[in-house]
Amino acid sequence: MGLSKNKYFPLELSILKHYNDNHNGIYNSCHPKVKETRDSAIVQFENIRLPLTNSEKWRSTNLQDLYELEYLMGDEKPVFDKHINEIFQCNVRGFDTNVFSMLNGWYYNSNTQQIHTLDDGVIIGSILAAQKAFPELISKYFNEIASPSTHGLLAANAAVFTDGIFIYVPDNVESKKAVQLINMVNRDSNIMINSRNLVILGQNSSLSFLHCDDSINQHPAFLVTNTEVFLGENAKLDLYKLQNLNNWSTLANSTFVQQESNSKLKINVLTFNGGIIRNEFNIDLIGEGADADVSGIYLMDKKQHVDNQVMLKHSAPNCTSNEMFKGVLDESASAVFNGYIYVARDAQKTLAFQKNANILMTNEARIDSMPFLEIYADDVKCSHGATVGQLDKDALFYLMQRGISESDAKLLLMYAFVTEVTGKIMIEPLKVSIDDMVKKRLRGDLSICDKCVLHCSTPDIPIEFEIDLSKI
């Protein structure tokens, strides 16, 4: 341990204090499994502390400056005085969702009721409320796959999380309408928010889940989100993560997924803006025939930083996985991609593919791309590829020879580069919106968006690439 490990950072002190302030109070009223998780996680936190760049997985993402700041921890529960739509507009044309929101770490709903059963049978609400309403599910699933000991931020999150979203899709229930979670921060001081989500899909069930992380002001926030996802046999989850935070905010977002046989997971992470964004995906294919498709785009500029860590574990035979992350980095932006494929000895007939492609627009932009394969089975097909480059000069000339200006030609090529990922979005209106969003982002219209990503991307006239992009 380095010297800096000896003295506690102000943020570490705040976390410990927050735990101490609450562990004999409200934490006592938690479900026993939750209480036990909090108590053991705080001990782990004291041992492992907040992650520093001397740990391999954090080598290229330095949060140390943030640890020196004073943060408001676990804000008071906000009084519900405004409907979500008054704070935040989200009206993707033709895309009807069941919208739920979190505000400053708390489940935020007009209804005093904290757990709802939707028309199609999906159960959704606050994880705090779920402790009382579904104690057996909490016992069975909570903290079963998330491992707080992975790093100090996860340990802290497990110890002091405020609230979170709970989604339960019972066996054989097929969700008709996508569920949208808008995780908002709106506080006039530095705030750290720890939320903990649990998503359970029973056998033969399905769900589309759109998870948006947004800032609605310009204050720095430190968001740590930990989501556990369980997919039963034949369950199908489409998970979209939209990240659009202000340039002063930090998001550390971990998702742990366990997939039983023949379940299908599709994750699409769309990172548009944010100061520092760290996405961790830990996916374990434990049932035969499970399939995971994890893809993402990141479009960063200024001094923004994004770090995608994907761990795909093939524990059972005949599973397939596909990873594709693509990024465009402009100005002094930096990115990390760490893709890890692990194939267990019994996981024969595994198909696992991984690809990370990057375009660097300037000499200052930076990408660290690190693929890892660890394979113990002998009958598998695995591949990985990482590319880093500039825009194709031949293609640029080809477009310009047809009269398209250099700046428009670059836009077209960047747009074309990311459509390989955005083309995978299954919900058509969402695809259109994201498409517009990408175009706006690449055009520089959206370096910071103070409203929802989706809101921004609902123009009356869809954006088409024509000659003069500035006039659309």
Q: Determine the 3-state secondary structure of 48 from DSSP.
A: helix
User: Token pair 């939707």 is at which residue?
Assistant: 118
Chain-centre distance of CA 49, in angstroms?
Answer: 23
Nearest distance from residue 287's CB to another protein, in Å?
35
Residue with Cβ nearer another protein (184 or 438) = 438
- Distance in angstroms (rounded) separating the CA atoms of residues 195 and 192: 10
Q: Which stretch binds another protein (CB under 8 A): 279-287, 317-325, 358-366, 412-420?
A: 412-420
Nearest distance from residue 420's CB to another protein, in Å?
7
Alpha-carbon dihedral angle through residues 424, 428, 430, 436, given to the nearest 10 degrees:
90
Among 416, 426, 428, 444, binds another protein (CB under 8 A): 416
Burial class (CB in 10 A: 0-12, 13-18, 19+), 119: exposed
Q: Which stretch binds another protein (CB under 8 A): 58-66, 261-269, 417-425, 445-453?
A: 417-425
* Binding flags for another protein, 390-409, as an x/- string (CB under 8 A): --xxxx-xxxxxxxxxx-xx
- Distance in angstroms (rounded) separating the CA atoms of residues 32 and 3: 37
Which tokens belong to 290? 């499970």
460 sits near another protein (criterion: CB under 8 A): no
The DSSP bridge pattern shows strands 165-169 and 178-185 to be unpaired
Residue with Cβ nearer another protein (66 or 391) = 391
Q: Which stretch binds another protein (CB under 8 A): 175-183, 196-204, 410-418, 437-445?
A: 410-418
Query: Nearest Cα to 341, choosing from 386, 417, 282?
Result: 282
Nearest distance from residue 359's CB to another protein, in Å?
12
Among 76, 119, 136, 466, binds another protein (CB under 8 A): 466
Residue with Cβ nearer another protein (13 or 395) = 395
Nearest distance from residue 419's CB to another protein, in Å?
4
Backbone angles phi, psi at 128, to 5 degrees: -65, -45
426 sits near another protein (criterion: CB under 8 A): no
The DSSP bridge pattern shows strands 334-343 and 305-314 to be parallel
For another protein, the binding residues in 336-395 under the rule CB under 8 A are 392-395
415 sits near another protein (criterion: CB under 8 A): yes
Residue with Cβ nearer another protein (81 or 466) = 466
Nearest distance from residue 416's CB to another protein, in Å?
3
| Contact status, residue 181 vs residue 102, Cβ threshold 8 Å | yes
Residue with Cβ nearer another protein (167 or 413) = 413
Residue with Cβ nearer another protein (357 or 430) = 357
Residue with Cβ nearer another protein (87 or 400) = 400
Among 56, 119, 378, 468, binds another protein (CB under 8 A): 468
459 sits near another protein (criterion: CB under 8 A): no
Contacts (Cβ under 8 Å, ≥6 apart) of 277: 243, 245, 250, 251, 253, 271, 298, 304, 305, 306, 307
Query: Nearest Cα to 417, choosing from 398, 390, 377?
Result: 390
For another protein, the binding residues in 181-200 under the rule CB under 8 A are none
Backbone angles phi, psi at 180, to 5 degrees: -120, 125
How many residues bind another protein (CB under 8 A)? The answer is 29
Amino acid at 288: E
| Contact status, residue 98 vs residue 178, Cβ threshold 8 Å | yes
Backbone angles phi, psi at 281, to 5 degrees: -125, 125
Q: How far apart are the first and last CA of the chain?
A: 55
Nearest distance from residue 414's CB to another protein, in Å?
10
Residue with Cβ nearer another protein (16 or 404) = 404
Task: Name 37's bridge partners.
Answer: none
- Distance in angstroms (rounded) separating the CA atoms of residues 24 and 12: 19
Among 127, 412, 452, 463, binds another protein (CB under 8 A): 412
419 sits near another protein (criterion: CB under 8 A): yes
Please give the residue ranges that form the binding site for another protein (CB under 8 A): 392-395, 397-406, 408-409, 412-413, 415-420, 464-468
